[in-house]
């Protein structure tokens, strides 16, 4: 479990992002670096603030947090669709996922995460306010636990993640 995945993490958002990006070292990553598009940067921040790592199952769970726990989620979904078709890297990533797991495999993955997604949905209902997907840069210096307290964000435990 990565440090930012702990509920009471005292790292700053910037430090949490560094750990998140460093976790890619053993994996092929096309989506990290200092010149990330705003959309990808927002996505990475949601991984950290909602305490979700790099597995495909956690990606599926993050969709639930994004849809129900972020402001303007419909706008985010349309922007995501646009980014996929504009970005050769993102399109390549999706093609790679489909070639490795197949459509059926990806659907099974989403299905296997149903319980965790349901718990995440319940947790978003308890939030004090919705997270801004497009994070102000000033948030990078805030402690993760302070941001989670402000927004009422509760991360999934290892048991709830089913990992």
Helices (H) and strands (E) in the chain, counts: 8, 0
Q: So where are the chain's domains?
A: 3-161
pLDDT of 32 over the 60 cut: no
Dihedral of the alpha carbons of 73, 77, 80, 86, in degrees to the nearest 10: -140
CA 119 to chain centre: 15
Q: How far apart are CA 33 and CA 3, in angstroms?
A: 20
Q: What percent of the chain has pLDDT over 90?
A: 50
Phi, psi of 140 (to 5 degrees): -60, -30
pLDDT attached to residue 93: 59
pTM equals 0.80
pLDDT digits (tens, 9 = 90+) for 107-153: 787 788 899 999 999 999 999 999 998 889 999 999 999 999 999 99
- Retrieve residue 128's tokens: 């004090």
């Amino acid at each position: 479990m990565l440090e930012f995945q702990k509920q009471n993490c005292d790292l700053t958002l910037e430090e949490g992002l560094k750990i998140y990006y460093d976790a890619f070292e053993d994996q092929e990553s096309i989506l990290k670096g200092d010149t990330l598009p705003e959309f990808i940067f927002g996505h990475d921040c949601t991984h950290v603030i909602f305490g979700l790592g790099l597995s495909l199952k956690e990606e599926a769970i993050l969709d639930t947090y994004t849809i129900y726990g972020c402001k303007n989620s419909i706008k985010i979904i349309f922007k995501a669709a646009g980014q996929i078709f504009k970005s050769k890297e993102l399109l390549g990533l999706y093609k790679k996922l489909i070639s490795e797991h197949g459509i059926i495999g990806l659907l099974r993955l989403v299905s296997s995460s149903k319980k965790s997604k349901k718990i995440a949905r319940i947790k978003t209902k308890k939030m004090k306010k919705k997270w801004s997907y497009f994070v102000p840069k000033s948030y990078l210096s805030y402690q993760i636990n302070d941001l989670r307290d402000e927004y009422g964000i509760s991360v999934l435990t290892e048991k709830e993640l089913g990992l």
